[in-house]
Structure 1
Amino acid sequence: MGIHREDLYPDLTAAGGLGPALEEAARLRGCDIGLPPWAIDAVVLETARGFVSVDPAAEERLFRVVVRIIGYTEDGFVWRIGSTRDLGLLVEALAAWQEGVQLDELRSRFDFMELDEFARAVESGEPTALQWSGLLSTEFHRRQWNLLRRFHADEVLGNMFPSITHGAVRLRVDPLDGTSRQVLVHELDGERYEVVRVGVPDAVWTEVQTGDLIAFVRTALRPQ
Protein backbone atom coordinates (compact mmCIF):
# COMPACT_ATOMS: atom_id res chain seq x y z
CA MET A 1 0.00 0.00 0.00
CA GLY A 2 2.79 2.40 -0.82
CA ILE A 3 4.23 4.40 2.04
CA HIS A 4 1.79 3.10 4.70
CA ARG A 5 2.43 -0.04 6.76
CA GLU A 6 -0.31 -2.55 6.04
CA ASP A 7 -0.51 -3.75 9.67
CA LEU A 8 -1.27 -0.19 10.85
CA TYR A 9 -3.73 0.71 8.10
CA PRO A 10 -5.52 -2.43 6.87
CA ASP A 11 -8.59 -0.35 5.98
CA LEU A 12 -6.49 1.87 3.69
CA THR A 13 -4.95 -1.19 2.07
CA ALA A 14 -8.36 -2.77 1.47
CA ALA A 15 -9.76 0.46 -0.01
CA GLY A 16 -6.80 0.99 -2.34
CA GLY A 17 -5.28 4.03 -0.62
CA LEU A 18 -5.98 6.91 1.72
CA GLY A 19 -8.19 8.79 -0.73
CA PRO A 20 -10.59 5.92 -1.47
CA ALA A 21 -10.71 5.05 2.24
CA LEU A 22 -11.69 8.62 3.12
CA GLU A 23 -14.34 8.64 0.41
CA GLU A 24 -15.83 5.40 1.71
CA ALA A 25 -15.78 6.64 5.31
CA ALA A 26 -17.42 9.90 4.20
CA ARG A 27 -20.12 7.99 2.32
CA LEU A 28 -20.88 5.87 5.37
CA ARG A 29 -21.10 9.00 7.56
CA GLY A 30 -23.17 10.92 5.02
CA CYS A 31 -20.39 13.52 4.58
CA ASP A 32 -18.98 15.37 1.61
CA ILE A 33 -15.30 16.26 1.94
CA GLY A 34 -14.78 17.49 -1.63
CA LEU A 35 -12.03 15.01 -2.37
CA PRO A 36 -10.73 15.13 -5.97
CA PRO A 37 -11.05 11.78 -7.78
CA TRP A 38 -7.31 11.52 -8.44
CA ALA A 39 -6.41 11.58 -4.70
CA ILE A 40 -5.09 8.12 -3.81
CA ASP A 41 -2.29 8.20 -1.22
CA ALA A 42 -1.76 11.98 -1.11
CA VAL A 43 -4.80 13.91 0.09
CA VAL A 44 -4.93 17.71 -0.11
CA LEU A 45 -8.23 19.59 0.07
CA GLU A 46 -8.55 23.16 -1.18
CA THR A 47 -10.87 24.93 1.26
CA ALA A 48 -11.93 28.47 2.12
CA ARG A 49 -9.51 28.31 5.07
CA GLY A 50 -6.39 27.15 3.31
CA PHE A 51 -5.18 23.84 1.90
CA VAL A 52 -5.86 20.95 4.29
CA SER A 53 -3.81 17.77 4.02
CA VAL A 54 -4.03 14.40 5.77
CA ASP A 55 -0.82 12.53 6.55
CA PRO A 56 -0.88 8.99 8.00
CA ALA A 57 1.99 8.53 10.45
CA ALA A 58 4.52 5.78 9.72
CA GLU A 59 5.34 4.78 13.32
CA GLU A 60 1.78 4.37 14.64
CA ARG A 61 -1.79 4.49 13.38
CA LEU A 62 -2.47 8.20 13.39
CA PHE A 63 -3.99 10.57 10.83
CA ARG A 64 -2.33 13.99 11.13
CA VAL A 65 -4.15 17.05 9.79
CA VAL A 66 -2.28 20.10 8.51
CA VAL A 67 -3.57 23.42 7.14
CA ARG A 68 -1.43 25.57 4.86
CA ILE A 69 -1.77 29.05 3.39
CA ILE A 70 0.32 29.72 0.28
CA GLY A 71 2.89 32.44 0.98
CA TYR A 72 6.10 33.92 -0.36
CA THR A 73 8.12 30.91 0.82
CA GLU A 74 7.84 27.50 -0.81
CA ASP A 75 6.09 26.02 2.24
CA GLY A 76 3.90 29.03 2.94
CA PHE A 77 2.32 29.16 6.41
CA VAL A 78 1.74 25.78 8.02
CA TRP A 79 -0.22 24.71 11.12
CA ARG A 80 -0.73 21.22 12.49
CA ILE A 81 -4.32 21.29 13.68
CA GLY A 82 -4.73 17.85 15.18
CA SER A 83 -4.47 14.10 14.77
CA THR A 84 -6.77 11.12 15.31
CA ARG A 85 -6.81 7.35 14.88
CA ASP A 86 -10.50 7.39 13.93
CA LEU A 87 -11.10 7.62 10.17
CA GLY A 88 -14.82 8.26 10.60
CA LEU A 89 -14.25 11.12 13.04
CA LEU A 90 -11.64 12.52 10.67
CA VAL A 91 -14.00 12.73 7.69
CA GLU A 92 -16.68 14.39 9.84
CA ALA A 93 -14.16 17.04 10.89
CA LEU A 94 -12.98 17.56 7.30
CA ALA A 95 -16.57 17.95 6.13
CA ALA A 96 -17.27 20.51 8.87
CA TRP A 97 -14.11 22.39 7.94
CA GLN A 98 -15.20 22.42 4.29
CA GLU A 99 -18.61 23.76 5.31
CA GLY A 100 -17.01 26.69 7.12
CA VAL A 101 -18.08 25.71 10.63
CA GLN A 102 -16.71 28.28 13.10
CA LEU A 103 -13.47 27.39 14.89
CA ASP A 104 -15.05 27.43 18.37
CA GLU A 105 -17.68 24.91 17.26
CA LEU A 106 -15.04 22.74 15.62
CA ARG A 107 -13.12 22.67 18.93
CA SER A 108 -16.21 21.62 20.85
CA ARG A 109 -17.28 18.96 18.35
CA PHE A 110 -13.89 17.40 17.67
CA ASP A 111 -11.65 16.98 20.71
CA PHE A 112 -8.65 16.03 18.59
CA MET A 113 -8.54 19.38 16.78
CA GLU A 114 -5.90 21.81 18.14
CA LEU A 115 -6.89 25.16 16.69
CA ASP A 116 -5.52 27.69 19.19
CA GLU A 117 -2.34 28.53 17.28
CA PHE A 118 -4.16 28.69 13.95
CA ALA A 119 -6.98 30.82 15.36
CA ARG A 120 -4.57 33.27 17.01
CA ALA A 121 -2.63 33.68 13.78
CA VAL A 122 -5.75 34.34 11.74
CA GLU A 123 -7.37 36.67 14.27
CA SER A 124 -4.20 38.74 14.68
CA GLY A 125 -3.60 38.99 10.94
CA GLU A 126 -0.29 37.22 11.38
CA PRO A 127 -0.18 35.50 7.95
CA THR A 128 -0.74 38.86 6.22
CA ALA A 129 1.82 40.70 8.37
CA LEU A 130 4.42 38.00 7.84
CA GLN A 131 3.75 37.96 4.11
CA TRP A 132 4.34 41.73 3.83
CA SER A 133 7.51 41.44 5.87
CA GLY A 134 8.81 38.59 3.76
CA LEU A 135 8.14 40.24 0.40
CA LEU A 136 9.62 43.57 1.50
CA SER A 137 12.84 41.95 2.68
CA THR A 138 13.40 39.39 -0.09
CA GLU A 139 15.99 40.52 -2.66
CA PHE A 140 14.31 38.41 -5.31
CA HIS A 141 11.39 40.87 -5.24
CA ARG A 142 13.46 44.06 -5.13
CA ARG A 143 11.94 45.22 -8.43
CA GLN A 144 8.49 45.26 -6.80
CA TRP A 145 9.58 46.92 -3.54
CA ASN A 146 8.49 50.46 -4.46
CA LEU A 147 5.02 49.32 -5.43
CA LEU A 148 4.75 47.03 -2.41
CA ARG A 149 5.76 49.89 -0.10
CA ARG A 150 3.09 52.16 -1.56
CA PHE A 151 0.42 49.55 -0.97
CA HIS A 152 1.72 48.59 2.47
CA ALA A 153 1.66 52.24 3.62
CA ASP A 154 -2.02 52.61 2.72
CA GLU A 155 -4.40 52.05 5.63
CA VAL A 156 -6.70 49.87 3.50
CA LEU A 157 -4.40 48.10 1.06
CA GLY A 158 -1.84 47.35 3.77
CA ASN A 159 -4.38 44.94 5.26
CA MET A 160 -4.65 42.92 2.05
CA PHE A 161 -2.68 39.70 1.54
CA PRO A 162 0.12 40.38 -0.98
CA SER A 163 1.94 38.05 -3.35
CA ILE A 164 3.92 38.26 -6.57
CA THR A 165 2.66 36.57 -9.74
CA HIS A 166 4.83 36.73 -12.88
CA GLY A 167 6.31 40.02 -11.71
CA ALA A 168 2.94 41.62 -10.91
CA VAL A 169 1.80 42.43 -7.37
CA ARG A 170 -1.34 40.57 -6.32
CA LEU A 171 -3.51 41.87 -3.46
CA ARG A 172 -6.14 39.55 -2.00
CA VAL A 173 -8.79 40.46 0.55
CA ASP A 174 -8.75 37.14 2.43
CA PRO A 175 -5.45 35.32 3.03
CA LEU A 176 -7.32 32.06 3.60
CA ASP A 177 -9.43 32.17 0.45
CA GLY A 178 -7.62 32.02 -2.88
CA THR A 179 -10.86 32.96 -4.67
CA SER A 180 -11.64 36.08 -2.62
CA ARG A 181 -11.60 39.54 -4.22
CA GLN A 182 -8.16 40.28 -5.64
CA VAL A 183 -6.29 42.40 -8.14
CA LEU A 184 -3.07 42.14 -10.11
CA VAL A 185 -1.00 45.29 -10.57
CA HIS A 186 1.77 45.40 -13.18
CA GLU A 187 4.18 48.35 -13.23
CA LEU A 188 4.85 49.65 -16.74
CA ASP A 189 7.34 52.47 -16.20
CA GLY A 190 6.99 53.97 -12.71
CA GLU A 191 4.32 56.41 -13.80
CA ARG A 192 1.88 54.01 -15.43
CA TYR A 193 0.42 50.75 -14.19
CA GLU A 194 -1.91 48.07 -15.49
CA VAL A 195 -4.56 46.72 -13.11
CA VAL A 196 -6.98 43.83 -13.51
CA ARG A 197 -9.50 42.39 -11.07
CA VAL A 198 -8.87 38.66 -10.97
CA GLY A 199 -11.75 36.23 -11.36
CA VAL A 200 -14.26 38.73 -12.72
CA PRO A 201 -15.89 37.69 -16.03
CA ASP A 202 -14.58 39.67 -19.00
CA ALA A 203 -12.11 41.56 -16.79
CA VAL A 204 -9.49 43.47 -18.76
CA TRP A 205 -6.22 45.19 -17.91
CA THR A 206 -6.76 48.91 -17.30
CA GLU A 207 -3.95 51.44 -17.55
CA VAL A 208 -3.80 53.71 -14.49
CA GLN A 209 -1.59 56.72 -13.81
CA THR A 210 0.51 56.66 -10.64
CA GLY A 211 -1.49 59.42 -8.94
CA ASP A 212 -4.73 57.48 -9.34
CA LEU A 213 -3.37 54.05 -8.49
CA ILE A 214 -4.24 53.75 -4.79
CA ALA A 215 -7.82 54.96 -5.24
CA PHE A 216 -8.31 52.74 -8.29
CA VAL A 217 -7.06 49.61 -6.51
CA ARG A 218 -9.14 50.36 -3.42
CA THR A 219 -12.24 50.61 -5.59
CA ALA A 220 -11.39 47.42 -7.47
CA LEU A 221 -11.19 45.49 -4.19
CA ARG A 222 -14.53 46.68 -2.85
CA PRO A 223 -17.55 44.33 -2.96
CA GLN A 224 -19.37 44.78 -6.24
Structure 2
Amino acid sequence: MSRQPRQHIVRLYPEVGVAGSLRAAMQAELDRVGYTLTASLTNSPGWWDCATRVGDDRRHVTTVLGGEQRWFTMDFWERGVMMAHGSTADLVASAAAIGLWQTGSRLRELQAASSFVRFGELAEAYERGDPVETKWKIYRRTRAPHIDHDLIEAAYAQPRLRTLFPYTSHESLRLSRCTREPFTDDLPAIIPLSDGTYQIIGPRPRSPIGHANTPSEAVSLLIHHLPDNCGPAVDATAVELGNF
Protein backbone atom coordinates (compact mmCIF):
# COMPACT_ATOMS: atom_id res chain seq x y z
CA MET A 1 0.00 0.00 0.00
CA SER A 2 1.40 3.37 -1.01
CA ARG A 3 2.15 5.99 1.62
CA GLN A 4 0.09 9.15 1.88
CA PRO A 5 1.79 12.57 2.12
CA ARG A 6 1.85 14.16 5.54
CA GLN A 7 -1.18 16.25 6.43
CA HIS A 8 0.55 19.63 6.42
CA ILE A 9 1.75 18.93 2.88
CA VAL A 10 -1.74 17.95 1.74
CA ARG A 11 -3.08 21.15 3.31
CA LEU A 12 -0.51 23.53 1.78
CA TYR A 13 0.00 21.68 -1.52
CA PRO A 14 -3.25 20.00 -2.62
CA GLU A 15 -1.80 19.06 -6.03
CA VAL A 16 1.03 17.23 -4.25
CA GLY A 17 -1.53 15.47 -2.07
CA VAL A 18 -3.42 14.28 -5.14
CA ALA A 19 -0.22 13.11 -6.87
CA GLY A 20 1.10 11.41 -3.74
CA SER A 21 4.44 13.24 -3.46
CA LEU A 22 6.31 16.25 -4.80
CA ARG A 23 8.30 13.93 -7.05
CA ALA A 24 5.11 12.64 -8.68
CA ALA A 25 3.55 16.09 -8.97
CA MET A 26 6.71 17.55 -10.53
CA GLN A 27 6.99 14.66 -12.96
CA ALA A 28 3.40 15.17 -14.06
CA GLU A 29 3.99 18.88 -14.67
CA LEU A 30 7.24 18.27 -16.59
CA ASP A 31 5.46 15.68 -18.72
CA ARG A 32 2.53 18.03 -19.35
CA VAL A 33 4.82 20.77 -20.64
CA GLY A 34 6.76 18.31 -22.78
CA TYR A 35 10.16 18.16 -21.08
CA THR A 36 11.85 14.76 -21.33
CA LEU A 37 13.16 15.02 -17.77
CA THR A 38 12.89 12.66 -14.81
CA ALA A 39 12.02 13.78 -11.30
CA SER A 40 13.74 11.58 -8.71
CA LEU A 41 13.84 11.29 -4.95
CA THR A 42 16.65 13.05 -3.10
CA ASN A 43 19.14 11.23 -0.89
CA SER A 44 17.16 12.26 2.22
CA PRO A 45 14.71 9.38 2.86
CA GLY A 46 12.61 11.43 5.28
CA TRP A 47 11.84 13.88 2.51
CA TRP A 48 10.15 11.30 0.25
CA ASP A 49 6.96 13.36 -0.03
CA CYS A 50 8.36 16.90 0.04
CA ALA A 51 11.55 16.98 -2.08
CA THR A 52 12.70 16.04 -5.55
CA ARG A 53 15.73 16.29 -7.78
CA VAL A 54 15.79 16.68 -11.55
CA GLY A 55 19.01 16.25 -13.54
CA ASP A 56 22.39 14.59 -13.34
CA ASP A 57 25.87 15.29 -11.97
CA ARG A 58 26.48 17.97 -14.58
CA ARG A 59 23.30 19.99 -14.00
CA HIS A 60 20.45 19.45 -11.59
CA VAL A 61 17.78 21.23 -9.59
CA THR A 62 16.62 20.29 -6.11
CA THR A 63 13.19 21.38 -4.93
CA VAL A 64 11.96 21.22 -1.32
CA LEU A 65 8.53 22.16 -0.02
CA GLY A 66 8.20 24.72 2.76
CA GLY A 67 6.74 23.30 5.95
CA GLU A 68 5.03 26.40 7.36
CA GLN A 69 4.10 28.31 4.20
CA ARG A 70 3.54 27.33 0.60
CA TRP A 71 6.94 27.61 -1.06
CA PHE A 72 8.71 25.51 -3.67
CA THR A 73 12.30 26.29 -2.68
CA MET A 74 14.80 25.54 -5.42
CA ASP A 75 18.58 25.28 -5.82
CA PHE A 76 20.11 25.22 -9.30
CA TRP A 77 23.40 23.32 -9.55
CA GLU A 78 26.08 22.95 -12.20
CA ARG A 79 29.03 20.57 -11.68
CA GLY A 80 29.33 20.94 -7.93
CA VAL A 81 28.42 24.64 -7.73
CA MET A 82 25.08 26.02 -6.58
CA MET A 83 24.59 28.63 -9.29
CA ALA A 84 21.19 30.04 -8.31
CA HIS A 85 18.31 29.65 -5.90
CA GLY A 86 14.77 30.85 -5.48
CA SER A 87 11.31 30.20 -4.08
CA THR A 88 7.89 30.32 -5.72
CA ALA A 89 4.40 29.35 -4.60
CA ASP A 90 3.59 28.03 -8.08
CA LEU A 91 4.31 24.44 -9.12
CA VAL A 92 3.95 25.37 -12.78
CA ALA A 93 6.55 28.14 -12.42
CA SER A 94 8.96 25.85 -10.59
CA ALA A 95 8.69 23.18 -13.29
CA ALA A 96 9.22 25.80 -16.00
CA ALA A 97 12.41 27.01 -14.30
CA ILE A 98 13.67 23.44 -13.97
CA GLY A 99 13.02 22.85 -17.65
CA LEU A 100 14.91 25.98 -18.67
CA TRP A 101 17.92 25.17 -16.49
CA GLN A 102 18.13 21.55 -17.56
CA THR A 103 17.97 22.47 -21.23
CA GLY A 104 21.02 24.73 -20.94
CA SER A 105 19.72 28.17 -19.96
CA ARG A 106 22.24 30.74 -18.79
CA LEU A 107 21.69 32.56 -15.54
CA ARG A 108 20.32 35.82 -16.87
CA GLU A 109 18.06 33.97 -19.30
CA LEU A 110 16.73 31.88 -16.43
CA GLN A 111 16.10 34.94 -14.28
CA ALA A 112 14.39 36.80 -17.13
CA ALA A 113 11.92 33.94 -17.51
CA SER A 114 11.63 33.13 -13.78
CA SER A 115 11.85 36.37 -11.82
CA PHE A 116 12.02 34.57 -8.45
CA VAL A 117 15.47 33.15 -9.28
CA ARG A 118 18.47 34.83 -7.63
CA PHE A 119 22.21 34.45 -8.22
CA GLY A 120 25.43 36.24 -7.31
CA GLU A 121 28.61 37.47 -8.93
CA LEU A 122 30.52 34.26 -8.21
CA ALA A 123 27.95 32.23 -10.17
CA GLU A 124 28.33 34.57 -13.13
CA ALA A 125 32.11 34.25 -12.80
CA TYR A 126 31.74 30.48 -13.11
CA GLU A 127 29.64 31.03 -16.19
CA ARG A 128 32.35 33.28 -17.68
CA GLY A 129 35.09 30.83 -16.69
CA ASP A 130 37.00 33.03 -14.18
CA PRO A 131 35.82 32.14 -10.65
CA VAL A 132 39.29 32.21 -9.02
CA GLU A 133 39.84 35.96 -9.20
CA THR A 134 36.23 36.65 -8.23
CA LYS A 135 36.43 34.40 -5.16
CA TRP A 136 39.59 36.19 -4.01
CA LYS A 137 37.87 39.54 -4.59
CA ILE A 138 34.88 38.49 -2.48
CA TYR A 139 37.13 37.40 0.38
CA ARG A 140 39.25 40.55 0.19
CA ARG A 141 36.28 42.88 0.58
CA THR A 142 34.25 40.90 3.12
CA ARG A 143 34.17 41.73 6.80
CA ALA A 144 32.57 38.45 7.82
CA PRO A 145 33.84 37.41 11.28
CA HIS A 146 35.05 34.00 10.10
CA ILE A 147 37.39 35.56 7.51
CA ASP A 148 40.85 36.74 8.60
CA HIS A 149 41.28 39.78 6.36
CA ASP A 150 45.02 40.17 7.00
CA LEU A 151 45.59 36.51 6.17
CA ILE A 152 43.62 36.82 2.94
CA GLU A 153 45.65 39.86 1.90
CA ALA A 154 48.95 38.14 2.71
CA ALA A 155 47.94 35.09 0.66
CA TYR A 156 46.64 37.14 -2.26
CA ALA A 157 49.95 39.04 -2.43
CA GLN A 158 51.69 35.80 -3.45
CA PRO A 159 51.45 35.03 -7.20
CA ARG A 160 51.56 31.26 -6.64
CA LEU A 161 48.56 31.40 -4.33
CA ARG A 162 46.52 33.88 -6.38
CA THR A 163 46.09 31.23 -9.07
CA LEU A 164 44.61 28.69 -6.64
CA PHE A 165 40.96 28.64 -5.59
CA PRO A 166 40.51 29.87 -1.98
CA TYR A 167 37.86 28.56 0.39
CA THR A 168 37.34 28.56 4.12
CA SER A 169 36.43 25.83 6.59
CA HIS A 170 36.01 26.48 10.33
CA GLU A 171 37.90 29.81 9.89
CA SER A 172 40.88 28.12 8.20
CA LEU A 173 42.13 29.26 4.80
CA ARG A 174 42.34 26.43 2.33
CA LEU A 175 43.38 26.29 -1.31
CA SER A 176 42.26 24.02 -4.09
CA ARG A 177 43.72 22.98 -7.44
CA CYS A 178 40.19 22.89 -8.85
CA THR A 179 37.35 25.40 -8.75
CA ARG A 180 34.37 23.10 -8.14
CA GLU A 181 33.26 21.02 -5.16
CA PRO A 182 34.44 18.67 -3.97
CA PHE A 183 37.69 20.65 -3.79
CA THR A 184 41.11 19.03 -3.76
CA ASP A 185 42.46 18.27 -0.29
CA ASP A 186 46.16 17.84 -1.05
CA LEU A 187 47.52 21.30 -0.19
CA PRO A 188 48.50 22.81 3.18
CA ALA A 189 46.07 25.07 5.02
CA ILE A 190 46.32 27.89 7.59
CA ILE A 191 44.29 28.03 10.80
CA PRO A 192 44.04 31.35 12.72
CA LEU A 193 44.34 30.67 16.46
CA SER A 194 42.60 32.48 19.29
CA ASP A 195 45.87 34.09 20.47
CA GLY A 196 46.39 35.83 17.13
CA THR A 197 48.96 33.36 15.81
CA TYR A 198 48.60 30.79 13.05
CA GLN A 199 48.98 27.06 12.68
CA ILE A 200 49.90 25.57 9.32
CA ILE A 201 48.60 22.06 8.73
CA GLY A 202 49.57 19.62 6.04
CA PRO A 203 47.35 17.66 3.70
CA ARG A 204 46.14 14.16 4.40
CA PRO A 205 46.40 13.69 7.30
CA ARG A 206 45.74 17.21 8.49
CA SER A 207 48.55 17.28 11.04
CA PRO A 208 50.49 20.41 12.16
CA ILE A 209 53.59 21.27 10.13
CA GLY A 210 54.42 24.67 11.62
CA HIS A 211 53.45 27.71 13.62
CA ALA A 212 53.65 31.40 12.68
CA ASN A 213 53.18 34.68 14.50
CA THR A 214 51.99 36.76 11.55
CA PRO A 215 49.94 36.23 8.39
CA SER A 216 53.02 36.79 6.20
CA GLU A 217 55.02 34.18 8.10
CA ALA A 218 52.13 31.72 7.86
CA VAL A 219 51.81 32.23 4.11
CA SER A 220 55.56 31.82 3.60
CA LEU A 221 55.50 28.54 5.48
CA LEU A 222 52.55 27.31 3.48
CA ILE A 223 54.30 28.14 0.20
CA HIS A 224 57.40 26.28 1.39
CA HIS A 225 55.27 23.13 1.70
CA LEU A 226 53.44 23.46 -1.62
CA PRO A 227 54.09 20.67 -4.11
CA ASP A 228 55.61 21.61 -7.46
CA ASN A 229 53.29 22.50 -10.32
CA CYS A 230 50.15 22.79 -8.18
CA GLY A 231 48.50 25.65 -10.07
CA PRO A 232 46.69 27.36 -11.54
CA ALA A 233 43.33 25.93 -10.45
CA VAL A 234 41.44 24.18 -13.23
CA ASP A 235 37.73 24.08 -14.01
CA ALA A 236 37.01 20.66 -12.51
CA THR A 237 36.04 18.82 -9.35
CA ALA A 238 38.39 16.78 -7.22
CA VAL A 239 36.59 13.68 -8.45
CA GLU A 240 37.34 14.62 -12.04
CA LEU A 241 40.99 15.13 -11.10
CA GLY A 242 41.14 11.77 -9.31
CA ASN A 243 41.82 13.49 -5.98
CA PHE A 244 38.78 12.33 -3.99
Q: State the TM-score bracket (shorter-chain normalisation).
A: 0.5 to 0.7
Amino acid at match of 2:181: G
Q: Deviations over 1:102-129 (max 9, x none)?
A: 122113333x3343xx244534767665
CA offset at residue 91 of structure 1?
Answer: 1.5
Q: Is the 8 A contact 1:161 1:173 kept in 2?
A: no
CA offset at residue 15 of structure 1?
Answer: 1.7
CA offset at residue 97 of structure 1?
Answer: 2.0
Gap regions ≥5 residues in structure 2: 43-47, 126-130, 190-198, 205-221
Task: Pick the aligned partner of 2:74 from 65, 71, 88.
Answer: 65
CA offset at residue 94 of structure 1?
Answer: 1.3
Aligned counterpart, 2:148: 137
TM-score scaled by length of structure 2? 0.51
Distance 1:215 1:9, change over 3 A: same
Aligned counterpart, 2:64: 54
Q: SS of the residue aligned with 2:109? A: helix
Distance of 1:35 and 1:156 partners within structure 2: 43
Q: SS of the residue aligned with 1:4? A: helix
Amino acid at match of 2:35: C
Q: Deviations over 1:50-91 (max 9, x none)?
A: 9744334644x442335689xxxxxxx997534142x23311
Residue 102 of structure 2 is aligned to residue 92 of structure 1: no
Aligned counterpart, 2:194: none
Distance of 2:169 and 2:34 partners within structure 1: 40
Q: Is the 8 A contact 1:48 1:100 kept in 2?
A: no
Aligned counterpart, 2:24: 20
- Structure whose alpha-carbon radius of gyration is higher: 2
Distance of 2:231 and 2:31 partners within structure 1: 44
CA offset at residue 49 of structure 1?
Answer: 7.6
Distance of 2:6 and 2:226 partners within structure 1: 53
Distance of 2:89 and 2:64 partners within structure 1: 10
CA offset at residue 13 of structure 1?
Answer: 0.9
Amino acid at match of 2:99: A
Q: SS of the residue aligned with 2:185? A: strand
Gap regions ≥5 residues in structure 1: 70-76, 139-144, 196-208
CA offset at residue 22 of structure 1?
Answer: 1.2
CA offset at residue 4 of structure 1?
Answer: 3.3
Distance of 2:160 and 2:102 partners within structure 1: 29
Distance of 1:50 and 1:151 partners within structure 2: 34
Report the identity percentage.
Answer: 16
Task: Pick the aligned partner of 1:101 from 80, 98, 105.
Answer: 105
CA RMSD of aligned residues (A): 4.8
Q: SS of the residue aligned with 2:96? A: helix
Residue 158 of structure 2 is aligned to residue 154 of structure 1: yes
Task: Pick the aligned partner of 1:216 from 216, 229, 240.
Answer: 229
Q: Is the 8 A contact 1:18 1:42 kept in 2?
A: yes
Distance of 1:88 and 1:131 partners within structure 2: 38
Matched residues, number: 186
TM-score scaled by length of structure 1? 0.54
CA offset at residue 218 of structure 1?
Answer: 0.6
